Amino acid sequence: MHFADTLAQAIDRCGAPACVGLDPVLEKIPRAALDATAREGGDDVEALGDFCIGVLHATRDAGVGVVKPQSACFERHGSRGFAQLERVVAEAHRLGLLVILDAKRGDIGVSAQHYAAWAFDHLDAHAVTVSPYLGPDAVEPLVRDGRGVFVLVRTSNPDSDAVQSPRLADGRSVSELMADTVRTLGEHRRGGRGLSDVGAVVGATKAVEAAALRERMPDQFFLVPGFGAQGGTIDDVRRMTREGARTPGELGVVVNASRSVIYAAPEPGEPWQSAVRSAAEALVRDLRDLC
Amino acid sequence: MHFADTLAQAIDRCGAPACVGLDPVLEKIPRAALDATAREGGDDVEALGDFCIGVLHATRDAGVGVVKPQSACFERHGSRGFAQLERVVAEAHRLGLLVILDAKRGDIGVSAQHYAAWAFDHLDAHAVTVSPYLGPDAVEPLVRDGRGVFVLVRTSNPDSDAVQSPRLADGRSVSELMADTVRTLGEHRRGGRGLSDVGAVVGATKAVEAAALRERMPDQFFLVPGFGAQGGTIDDVRRMTREGARTPGELGVVVNASRSVIYAAPEPGEPWQSAVRSAAEALVRDLRDLC
């Protein structure tokens, strides 16, 4: 099945374009989750995986169908952290969740093929994020039937302006140049809903520019970080949606929230999993306003 | 010790700015190397590590002091491939080789900190390559006393022109904008030889632009891929060197060759390790012409 159709279907089933980001950091994982792993004889690295699996179940129970593991959080623990990422992605598959691997890889030719093999053949992720500074040939090896890529176009961090905002001689900003590149890469790769499997990362905090980017990328899925904890609002996201969408999946956005969901503070006596589930449900409610 | 001084010292000891790239791919590893691992009961993933360790010894014997493992080659095999990368980097340390981890990571804030923890605390690499599309705050967490970063500025792949060559309204190309960013990041980070620990990746195949990039980055180490198999020549590299260098280490370049060294074809009856050593020695001889 075409990736953009799979993604649109997952969003329609949820009723909102929600994605839960898995950014597990030991210092922030609830005490109760660390203790549960320790009781089973597991160590801190295994606790990362156990915690994420708990989040996956809460996410599924809340009706959210898309998750975005942040590879860096696992990689910092080396090969054992990588093994936990493998475990988490496998469990997401078992639960029927769509996995966008946030790895921001970007390398040339054969190295890009290695990253494709890692993301798609080895981990079996549905999609991966890609950094485009090396140009289109760093992205192409990751474009594959049935899978998706999200190319960094406009990111939510403060310093991104230094690289992405400067104007070219032809009037476009660097991020607009990148948007045109992404559109070209995804031109003949549209699925049944009209959306391409070559998507873009566009931060929620850059809403003013997002409308212009949408004009340049009418058929791209936008993966939108920066919602919630990082300051992006529902009105910001609204500026990025496609016109004429008949269902939430056709809005062409998938909005990620990480910390505000996975580290939701439980009420006294409430299990942390229940707090995560409630926060994921609140995310869905908020995003239903888009539809 | 300041990273740029450590690197200059390794180059001076070798007598040429040579770096051997470790890009192990199963299809290219000599049959004899695969067989040797199999005899020990190891599988293909372990053969990757065994082969690289053989290359490390041949590299050291040839007098080359710097190696550049390509992370993607290991990552494609998942956590077990990652474990081989850990083994290879540990062996490089044991042999006194300086390790530039070619991972081209680039992410924001806390994720960039994770990658720094992975490269420096977990793997104990001396330096890492970084992709800069997200801006300076994606690079800064990887700048650390005693370690080095090499920021992608001008890469050797054909499509890089699409992103790195366009002219800005102020007359600079995108890669020149990046060069100025790198210079600023490394401004107050010079070591005893006057070279900064914030370096740049500049492809040997982009020699025409390299001289202009050297003017913008007078005190940066250039990590130069694309030499040999990819078409870059000694004259191309000469255009990138710093003026007034008193030793090879002060030329401000470190030139990488991967395939032409690690897959050097042995003479009939010659062990593959001997062919690798000869190819590494030939690389050193070629690069001595710079000095």
Residue A45, pLDDT score: 98
Of B70, B72, B137, the CB nearest to A158: B137
Q: Which of B108, B120, B154, B202 to mutate to test the interface with A (most CBs of A within 10 A)?
A: B108
**pLDDT tens digits, A144-168:** 999 999 999 999 888 999 999 999 9
Residue B122 to residue A77, Cβ atoms within 8 A: yes
Count of domains observed in chain B? 1
pLDDT at residue B206 is higher than 90? no
Amino acid letter at B148? Answer: G
pLDDT at B176: 97
Q: How far is CA A185 from CA A139, A151, A180, B92, B181, in A?
A: 9, 10, 9, 40, 28
pLDDT higher for B109 or A39? A39
Q: B169: which chain A residues are within 8 Å (Cβ-Cβ)?
A: 166-169
Q: Do B178 and A163 touch (CB under 8 A)?
A: yes
Query: Residue B255: which pLDDT band, with cuts at 50, 70 and 90?
Result: very high
The domain that contains A169 carries what CATH number? Answer: 3.20.20.70
Residues from chain A that touch B112, judged by Cβ atoms under 8 A, are 72
Residues 213-272 of B with CB under 8 A from A: none
Lowest mean pLDDT among A5-14, B86-95, B152-161: B152-161
Q: Which residues of B touch A155 (CB under 8 A)?
A: 108, 133-135
Rounded Cα distance between B53 and B35, Å, is: 15
pLDDT, position B232: 86
Strands B222-224 and B253-257: parallel
Longest dimension (CA), chain A: 62
Percent over 70 (pLDDT), chain B: 100
Catalytic residue among A28, A68, A104, A206: A104
pLDDT-derived band at A206 (thresholds 50, 70, 90) equals: confident
CA A146 and chain centroid, separation: 17
Tell me the shortest Cα–Cα distance from A137 to chain B, in angstroms.
6
Please choose, from the candidates A199, A190, A291, the residue with its C-alpha nearest in 3D space to the C-alpha of residue A241: A291
Q: Which of residues 58-77 of B touch A (CB under 8 A)?
A: 70, 72-73, 75-77
Compute the average pLDDT of residues A100-110.
Answer: 95
pLDDT of residue B246: 95
Sign of torsion over alpha carbons B172, B176, B178, B184: negative
Residue A139 pLDDT exceeds 90: yes
Residues spanned by the domain of A247: 3-288
Is residue A195 within 8 A of residue A208, CB to CB? The reply is no
Tell me if residue A68 is catalytic: no
pLDDT in tens, A75-86: 999 999 999 999
B-chain residues within 8 Å CB-CB of A109?
157
Residues of A in contact with B206 (CB under 8 A): none
Q: Please give the Cα distance from A197 to A188 (Å, whole number).
A: 10
For A177, which of B110, B158, B166 is closest by C-beta distance?
Answer: B166
Q: Does A160 touch chain B (CB under 8 A)?
A: yes
Q: How many CA atoms lie within 13 A of B272 on its CB side?
A: 22
**pLDDT value, residue A205:** 83
Burial of A192 (0-12, 13-18, 19+ CB in 10 A): exposed
The H-or-E segment that residue A152 falls in is strand A148-154
pLDDT at A230 over 80: no
Nearest by CB: A122 against B23, B77, B160: B77
Q: Over 80: is that where the pLDDT of B220 sits?
A: yes
| pLDDT on residue A208 | 80
Q: What is the pLDDT of residue B257?
A: 95
Q: pLDDT-based confidence at B230, cuts 50/70/90?
A: confident
| d(CA B136, nearest CA chain A) in Å | 6
Per-residue pLDDT at A171: 95
Residues of chain B contacting A115 with CB distance shorter than 8 Å: 72, 75-76
B208: confidence class by pLDDT, cuts 50, 70, 90: confident
Residues of chain B neighbouring A164 (CB-CB closer than 8 A) = 133, 135
Question: What pLDDT score was predicted for residue B181?
Answer: 97
Question: Looking at this predicted complex, what is its ipTM?
Answer: 0.96
Q: What is the DSSP string of B67-110?
A: EEEBHHHHHTTHHHHHHHHHHHHHHHHHTT-EEEEEEEE---HH
Q: How far is A28 from chain B (nearest CA, A)?
A: 13
Contact B131 A169 (CB under 8 A): no
- Select the residue of A75, A76, A111 nearest B72 (Cβ to Cβ): A111
Instruction: Judge: B118–A78 Cβ closer than 8 Å, yes or no.
Output: yes
Model pLDDT, residue B50: 98
DSSP state of A70: B
Q: How many CB atoms lie within 10 A of CB A130?
A: 29
pLDDT value at residue A18 = 98
Percent helix, strand and coil across chain A, each rounded to 5?
A: 50, 15, 35
Catalytic residues of B, by residue number, are: 104
> Is B46 at the interface with chain A, CB within 8 A?
no
pLDDT, mean of residues B116-133: 97
Do B162 and A135 count as a contact with CB atoms less than 8 A apart? Answer: yes
- The burial of B269, by beta-carbon neighbours within 10 Å (0-12 exposed, 13-18 middle, 19 or more buried), is given as exposed
Q: Which residue has the higher pLDDT, B224 or A230?
A: B224
Among the listed residues B103, B68, B97, the one whose alpha carbon sits nearest the alpha carbon of residue B226: B68
Would you list the DSSP string of chain B?
--HHHHHHHHHHHHTS-EEEEE---GGGS-HHHHHHHHHTT--HHHHHHHHHHHHHHHHHHTT--EEEEBHHHHHTTHHHHHHHHHHHHHHHHHTT-EEEEEEEE---HHHHHHHHIIIIIIS--SEEEE--TT-HHHHGGG--TT-EEEEEEE-SSTTHHHHHSPBBTTS-BHHHHHHHHHHHHTTT-B-TTS-BSEEEEE-GGGHHHHHHHHHH-TTPPEEE--BSTTSB-HHHHHTTSPTT-SSGGGG-EEEEE-HHHHTPPPPTT--HHHHHHHHHHHHHHHHHTT-
Please tell me the predicted confidence (pLDDT) of residue A269. Answer: 95
Which DSSP string corresponds to A167-233? Answer: BBTTS-BHHHHHHHHHHHHTTT-B-TTS-BSEEEEE-GGGHHHHHHHHHH-TTPPEEE--BSTTSB-
Closest Cα in chain B, distance from residue A85 (Å): 9
Q: How high is the mean pLDDT of chain B? A: 96
* Residue range A160-204, pLDDT digits in tens: 999 999 999 999 999 999 999 999 999 999 999 999 999 999 998
Residue B253's pLDDT is 98
Distance from CA of B183 to the nearest CA of A (A): 14
Chain A interface includes B161 (CB < 8 A): yes
B200 — pLDDT class (breaks 50, 70, 90): very high
* C-beta of residue B174 within 8 angstroms of C-beta of residue B168: yes
For the whole model, what pTM was predicted? 0.97
Quote the pLDDT of residue B184.
98
- CB burial of B47-77 (b: ≥16 within 10 Å; e: otherwise) equals bbbbbbbbbbbbbbebebbbbbbbbbbbbbb
Q: What is the mean pLDDT of residues A272-286?
A: 98
Q: Is the pLDDT of residue A231 over 90?
A: no
Distance from CA of A287 to the nearest CA of B (A): 25
Residues within 8 A of A (CB atoms), B 91-150 only: 104-112, 114-115, 117-118, 121-123, 131-138
Q: What is the pLDDT of residue A204?
A: 87
Please give the pLDDT value at position A191: 98
pLDDT value, residue A229: 72
From the list B78, B86, B157, which residue is nearest A108 (CB)?
B157
Query: Which of B46, B77, B88, B104 to mutate against chain A (most A CBs within 10 Å)?
Result: B104
pLDDT of residue B207: 77
